[in-house]
Structure 1
């Protein structure tokens, strides 16, 4: 378990135990970090992650609050933090992506127009050098959607879009908890785009396989760590 996961679990336990209730403000960051025995950076990452799934509400200049959701909804949101890791369905979806997307990428290398490839490059450029995790994931979803559409097969494109969207939370969590994943993803996307632009179907398919397998391998390791 990463230090960020430790921090998330600590905050979760404060809410589950009733020490923090919906609408309550979290203690000051230095005080809470010292109390939990965590670095301020780990605590900050945990707060950011929990705010993405609407467990916490970060109000600039005011503090961080537990969301005022109904208790059952709050617990459903928090359960995502751990429980999605245990869902074999997510792993099966990633396995399916690893089978389907290299084939669609190979087809796209033959069929995508120069204009569509230029727009795909513009999509990557729009992120800049230091995107946030949620910006990266949104861009990632669109990147794969456009490549699938570029295959010229509407059925495959629909399958890819459906499967890719169902792994969005897992990809977000990976971005928050695995070091260097933003830079790695950007580099892999650039390599895939280059293979598409140079009309190298086999290379494009191989790069897509490695790219998707990276998420799958991360999830397998998480499942092993969590037993």
Structure 2
């Protein structure tokens, strides 16, 4: 028995050493390349995520970018977080101006109290600023968790223009939406939201110009696989 345990120890250590801590604190990396298991610190969201070959994570504080590429794009052309000040804080989205066929997405961490439609529980009355923030977040996460699972809200738009899938994991629950022109397989915009307790991870990918994204069905599948690997810690 002792010999068997000793034989297994190197394999166990190899798995542990393959996990990389992602963040901006001491001992953490801002950029990680797969294949590896990434442990991400996006306070207050903490989660793990599996990266396959030619997949990257870039932590920019407070956002995180996932890119499927042989090499990390130049910062001038890489997908990025766009922000603009508003009366309730900041309006934001993730966009790219370059490779519109490349599978990618950005992520931000939010609190469940900053939404009004993620669950069927009515939100507490609060300030006008918080109500405006909830309206913006509801547009980013256009679905509700009901007794029968996740269901798109009216904010999701015309059901003929998107593919909707629930994402139910051991440590998270959520959904992903891939928007596409009717009867066309290319996805022009992608959004997903994962919830665990009071934490909500918002993911998005869209174009930063009048020309939409054109991510293939295979690229969308690669994105879904990456998102499904996310597990809150």
TM-score normalised by the chain length of structure 1? 0.24
Higher relative contact order (CA 8 A, sep 6+): 1
Which structure: larger Rg? Answer: 1
TM-score normalised by the chain length of structure 2? 0.24
